[in-house]
Structures are given as C-alpha cells and as structure tokens.
Amino acid sequence: MTIADQILYEDNHLIAVNKLSGQIVQADKTGDICMSDLIKAYIKERDSKPGNVFCGVIHRLDRPVSGVVLFAKTSKALSRMNQMIKERDFQKIYRAIVTGNLPAMQGHLEDYLVRNAKLNKSFVTADSTNPEAKLASLDYRLLGTSNGGYNLVEIELHTGRHHQIRCQLAHMGCPVKGDLKYGAPRSNPDGSISLHAYSVTFIHPVRQQPVHITASQPWQNMF
C-alpha cells in the first residue's frame, strides 16, 4: 500500500491519512522512514514542487496503533490546529478490542498518570500531588462482544497523555488485545495492538467549517 492509498482527506491546508500499525508518525531513534517524510515525498512528486514541502505533525499515534493521523500542509494551519488541541476543541474517537470484563456498559475514567521514560510506559498513581502526575480523562462505551469473549469499545479522549488509553483500560482490568506492555495475555500475530484511531472532528482552521474524518476499523469481521 502506498501513501496515496492511505489518504482520507486533503485540501490546501491539511492532509489526513489512515496510519497502518507499524508505521511511525515522525522520525525517531530507529531511523525508520516516517509518515511525515512519506507525505512530503509524495506531494513533492505528485505536484512537481521544486522546493521543500511543509508537513507539520498535528498529533501522534503509537507505532502499533492504526487509524486517522492529521498533518498540516501550512504553518498557519499547524499553529491554529495546535491551539485547537490545546483548548480541547478537537474530538478524537478511538475503537479498541479489549480482554477482561468491563465494569459497566459505559463509563468515565479519570486517573493520574506518571510516565516512566526509561520503560516507555505510563502508570496510574494514587498520589495526585506528585508533580509528575497528570490527569487523564476519557469516556468509553461497549459496542459489541465477539464469540471469543473479546469486547469492542469506543473511547472518546478528553486529554492526550502518553499511552493514556492503553494504561487506563489496563488499569480497569481490560487491556487492549495484543498489548503485552500493558498486560494482554498474548501478542497479535502482526505485532499490532487492537487500538484504532477511528475518527477526528474539528472546525477547519482556515475555512471555519466542521470537518469529520473517519478511518474504518480493521476488525470488521470480528463483531
């Protein structure tokens, strides 16, 4: 699959792609090619641009996570989108397959998370006065249950903490399928975890019109 096949939305200011599990959004220490560089190269060739192509990262997804990722094609769009996210005027909906029994059909989770950079992992702490603790908030609801006992849940994020969904669901006793780091009993064969950024909704930073972008979940046959 090429980057062209992954494009979900594009205009003069923004481009959204359906990230595959295993792809990285921006360059890291692995040296693997990242999505922002793929987009730059694609636009440069497609539009025959002679100079550098701008591609700003608006938000990120963990490497094993799939779904909608939004990039800015102009610095003005990037600045305005960053402010929108800071002010929480940017709705992000995820879907996940989880193990374990949900305590309720739907619910609200608030926890304080502490990030351990050495382990690249977040932990729930009972000490909200810890200066490194950050409030993490989300809502979840059950969408369906498979024959194998897995649950499909939809999550709306209200904050954007490191590994927030993975950590909070695991703390609730329902780790994401395939997520060994947070207590799943076994890995997925392809190395992914069953967490998908399903949609984003926001007001366009230039045209001031509502935008809703959806990436179909990759587990259609399970539920």
pLDDT digits (tens, 9 = 90+) for 108-132: 999 999 999 999 999 999 998 999 9
Give 131-187 as a DSSP string.
TT-EEEEEEEEEEEE-TTS-EEEEEEESS--TTHHHHHHHHTT-PBTT-GGGT-SS-
203 pLDDT band (50/70/90 cuts)? very high
Structural domain boundaries in the chain: 3-214
**Is it the case that residue 33 has pLDDT exceeding 80?**
yes
Closest CA to 149 of 41, 87, 222: 222
Which residues are marked as active site? 62
Q: State the Cα–Cα distance between residues 142 and 95, nearest whole angstrom.
A: 10
Locate the DSSP E strands across the chain. Answer: 7-10, 14-19, 56-57, 66-72, 91-98, 106-116, 121-125, 134-145, 151-157, 195-203, 210-214
**Is it the case that residue 2 has pLDDT exceeding 90?**
no
**Is it the case that residue 51 has pLDDT exceeding 90?**
no
pTM comes to: 0.93
pLDDT digit string (tens) for 68-124? 999 999 999 999 999 999 888 999 999 999 999 899 999 999 999 999 999 999 999
Q: State the Cα–Cα distance between residues 165 and 7, nearest whole angstrom.
A: 25
Q: How buried is 108 (Cβ within 10 angstroms: 0-12 exposed, 13-18 middle, 19+ buried)?
A: exposed
148 pLDDT band (50/70/90 cuts)? confident
Residue type, 56: G
157: phi > 0 → left, psi -120 to 50 → alpha, else beta; which?
beta
In this structure, of 4-18, 30-44, 154-168, the range with the lowest mean pLDDT score is 30-44
Per-residue confidence (pLDDT) for residue 58, from 0 to 100: 95
32 pLDDT band (50/70/90 cuts)? confident
Q: Which fold has domain 3-214?
A: Pseudouridine synthase (3.30.2350)
